A and B are shown apart, each in its own frame.
Chain A
Amino acid sequence: GDSVTQMEGPVTLSEEAFLTINCTYTATGYPSLFWYVQYPGEGLQLLLKATKADDKGSNKGFEATYRKETTSFHLEKGSVQVSDSAVYFCALTRNQAGTALIFGKGTTLSVSS
């Protein structure tokens, strides 16, 4: 079945470092891909999305490109801040429209000053 695999955390970085969180997927059809972020004590928030191959989603300095050839959707940011410390989830739409997302297991990012 469809699935999402994320790199395991925690990822620990210093402020202003470059961030990459790897995400690969297995899916039938042509899913949409998402990154969600969960700050401590809160629910998840949509960070960015891409709906077709070669689309680049971007928001708040984060970017991810939908790579169909490598079935990947890696999250990147050029210069992280302490406020970026959170758990990041990669997700894809299921084959059936209207049903819930398939989430990866989440990657914890900790940024120190």
Chain B
Amino acid sequence: EADIYQTPRYLVIGTGKKITLECSQTMGHDKMYWYQQDPGMELHLIHYSYGVNSTEKGDLSSESTVSRIRTEHFPLTLESARPSHTSQYLCASSELVGEQFFGPGTRLTVL
């Protein structure tokens, strides 16, 4: 079944740790996105990719980095987590412009 997966669903870590949030999709979509969702539910685009070896920064300045070595995989890495990184992170993919498929999200808490 075509789908988009995110792991872990929940993560609690200490300050200074390096973490990677995983995102994989089985739909063969070229375009993928990372959003940060604040407690007020607003979505902020932090990274996107048009295809393999393509990555761009989004609207919200983020200390995270992404890579796109395979079409299906778009991981997000924080080299040194801080409490200000506490948030919900949503991954999405699309083929048609505007029609995005979202993963269930990773809720990150940095202590």
- A interface list, Cβ under 8 A from B: 32, 34, 36, 38, 41-46, 49, 87, 89, 91-93, 97-101, 103, 105-106, 108
Contact = CB atoms under 8 A, between A and B. Distances in A.
B74 interface: no
Contact of B100 (A41, A42, A101, A106): A101
Interface residues of B, number: 24
Contacts of A36: 100
B58 A100 contact: yes
B97 A32 contact: yes
Interface of B: 4, 6, 31, 33, 35, 40-43, 45, 48, 50, 58, 90, 92, 97-105
A105 B42 contact: yes
Nearest to A104: B42
13 contacts: A32-B98, A34-B99, A42-B104, A44-B100, A46-B100, A87-B41, A98-B97, A99-B48, A100-B33, A100-B48, A101-B100, A103-B43, A105-B40
Given A34-B98, A43-B102, A100-B100, 8 more contacts: A32-B97, A32-B98, A46-B100, A91-B98, A98-B31, A103-B43, A105-B41, A105-B42
Contact of A46 (B40, B97, B99, B104): B99
Q: Which 7 A-B pairs have the closest CB atoms?
A: A43-B102, A106-B41, A44-B102, A93-B98, A103-B43, A105-B42, A100-B45
